[in-house]
Amino acid sequence: MALQLVIEQGGILEHDAAESKKQGAAVWYKDEGGQHKCILLKLSLADSTGKKVKKDAKIKCALRYADTGKIVENQSILRVWTEDGRKRGLALKGGQLTVKARVEDVSKNHQGQCFCVEVSCDEEGIESVRTQKVHVRSKRNKRRRASTSPPRTRAPLPQVSEDGLPSSVAEWIQEAVSSLDEMRWRVSGVDHQMRNPNSIIDSLQRKYEKDVAPLLGESQKRKKPRSVPPMQAPAMSRMRTSAGMTLAILDEAEGQSALHALAGAGSMAPPVLQRGVSSVYTGGPAGDGSGQGEDVPLPPFTETALSREVESQVRTVLAKKFRPVRDGAVLGFPAYDSQKNLVGLYRDQNGAPVFVPASEAASGLEPADHAAARLAYDRETSNKSDCVHSLATHGALERLKEAALLYCYSKEPWAELDLGE
């Protein structure tokens, strides 16, 4: 008798109805509500007539692109756990199981494709099932959220949870603990990244004053959480990326100590200090970065549907500035596909990495540059250079781009930095 897995309502999730109608799929904001926000999968087992079947069976979950059915290459962006916190050994008990799923990347980083979670069983004779289409986004902007979200109302009396705490207090505590994970340093290869925590802290403070303090008595109402002043970013164009923010912090800390001492020691300029390597260039006639190309501003490039399609082929980036064979401006960081072919360049445009396909005239590439780029790739990989950044290592294209940008900036001369004189 053929059996089939069933997901109640195709997966239960909080979604934006208006945006979902426009998108043609459930629009789910993964970063609204903290790390505990999830898609609820109430699983059951049924026969061909729809009758529930009580049977134990092991299951597994996989993330796919909803429209094509293709498996997502990086399965680590899917987190699955049960209500009691188990992440492995998922199994139906008596034909039923409730699973929580969370997608940790946005559809924008996957050419705008919608996701779905496929639940399958190793046992033969049991058909798999997929959730509804889900378009994953990060957060709504404040203006849109204010116009689409209904105003919150407070119940006359607080509901009390099982542990004796008012439910609003218990929810605030849970969200506060969950938010700690969002403020951790993230390790990506040799790099460390951290999002600005101010928005998370502000949200917790507002909820504390609105939902928690009134339940703790008059003395607590007057005690407002300590206000944390916003981080003042140094005036550097690369501050829009997490890589730029990390460097700015390092620049400010070190620039106020040894470098200021050197700068004020006399009229003679201090010797140029390097961050680790001798060159930040690659390419050129010899493939070793030699040449006369200068770092001069290049015309801005606006991404297109074609450029995003080509960018999806990127698998490796050399975090060094590419010099063309001819003498001319430095063109950007070379990016390669899985066959080691040069498919484009990344440029720092107003502090953000922008991809320019090699086929575009704006890239400035000529036929001879492709051979030089291949020579540069072979040279850097054979030397096991740290400038080689791969998608396989970083897991997501956004992290790959920022890691490459951070690496290259970390090799710039200290003497190029503004010492604030």
pLDDT digits (tens, 9 = 90+) for 342-360: 999 998 877 678 899 999 8
Dmax over Cα atoms in the chain, in whole Å? 89
| Whole-number Å distance between alpha carbons of 99 and 87 | 9
Q: Are 114 and 83 found together in one domain?
A: yes
> What's residue 266's pLDDT?
41
> What's residue 117's pLDDT?
94
- Domain membership of residue 35 (yes or no) is yes
- Domain membership of residue 73 (yes or no) is yes
Encode pLDDT of 129-160 as tens digits. 999 999 999 888 765 554 455 555 544 445 54
Encode pLDDT of 224-282 as tens digits. 545 545 544 444 344 444 455 555 554 554 444 444 434 444 434 333 333 333 467 88
- Domain membership of residue 85 (yes or no) is yes
Percent of the chain with pLDDT over 90: 25
Residue 321: in which H helix or E strand, if any? strand 321-323
Write the single-letter amino acid at 6.
Answer: V
Q: Are 24 and 110 found together in one domain?
A: yes
Does residue 220 carry a pLDDT above 60?
no
Tell me which of 372 and 188 has the higher pLDDT: 372
pLDDT band at 116 (very low <50, low <70, confident <90, very high): very high
CATH of the domain at 31: 2.60.40.10
Asked whether the beta carbons of 14 and 28 are under 8 A apart, the reply is: yes
Domain region containing 131: 3-141
- Domain membership of residue 161 (yes or no) is no
Residues in the chain: 421
> What's residue 66's pLDDT?
93
Q: Are 121 and 194 found together in one domain?
A: no
Q: Are 45 and 135 found together in one domain?
A: yes
User: Rounded mean pLDDT of 277-300?
Assistant: 70
Q: Are 122 and 185 found together in one domain?
A: no
Q: Look at residue 328 and give its three-state secondary structure.
A: coil
> What's residue 240's pLDDT?
44
**Dihedral of CA 307/111/184/391: which sign?**
negative
Write the single-letter amino acid at 139.
Answer: K
Q: Are 192 and 252 found together in one domain?
A: no
Residue 205's CB is within 10 A of a number of other CB atoms, namely: 15
Asked whether the beta carbons of 357 and 332 are under 8 A apart, the reply is: no
Highest-confidence segment of 19-23, 100-104, 295-299 = 100-104
Q: Look-up: residue for tokens 């980083």?
A: 109
- Residue by residue, DSSP assigns 244-268 as HHHHHHHHHHHIIIIIHHHHTS-SS
Tell me which of 419 and 24 has the higher pLDDT: 24
Q: Are 247 and 368 found together in one domain?
A: yes
**Dihedral of CA 9/14/20/21: which sign?**
positive
Q: 98-130: b or e for each residue (b if 16 or more CB lie within 10 Å)?
A: ebbbbbbbbbebbeebbbbbbbebeeeebeebb
Vertex 337, ends 284 and 325: CA angle to 5°?
15
Highest-confidence segment of 141-150, 170-179, 336-345 = 336-345
User: Rounded mean pLDDT of 166-171?
Assistant: 76
Looking at 107, 141, 175, the residue that finishes a domain is: 141
Does residue 176 carry a pLDDT above 60?
yes
> What's residue 107's pLDDT?
93
Highest-confidence segment of 143-147, 253-257, 296-300, 386-390 = 386-390
Q: Are 126 and 259 found together in one domain?
A: no
Q: Are 183 and 89 found together in one domain?
A: no
- Helices marked H in 29-166 — which ranges? 142-148
> What's residue 399's pLDDT?
87
pLDDT band at 325 (very low <50, low <70, confident <90, very high): confident
Q: Are 303 and 205 found together in one domain?
A: no
- Domain membership of residue 149 (yes or no) is no
- Contact partners, residue 201, CB within 8 Å, separation at least 6: 228
- Domain membership of residue 148 (yes or no) is no
- Domain membership of residue 55 (yes or no) is yes
The pLDDT mean for the chain works out to: 76
Q: 202-206, 209-213, 324-328: which range is least confident on average? A: 324-328
> What's residue 279's pLDDT?
67
Domain count, the chain: 3
- Domain membership of residue 269 (yes or no) is no
User: Rounded mean pLDDT of 51-61?
Assistant: 91
Encode pLDDT of 64-86 as tens digits. 999 999 999 999 999 998 888 78
Does residue 119 carry a pLDDT above 90?
yes
Q: Are 336 and 376 found together in one domain?
A: yes
Q: 42-46, 243-247, 364-368: which range is least confident on average? A: 243-247
Percent of the chain with pLDDT over 70: 71
Does residue 385 carry a pLDDT above 50?
yes
Q: Are 89 and 178 found together in one domain?
A: no
> What are the residues facing 166 on neighbouring strands?
160
Looking at 141, 157, 190, the residue that finishes a domain is: 141
Asked whether the beta carbons of 353 and 338 are under 8 A apart, the reply is: no
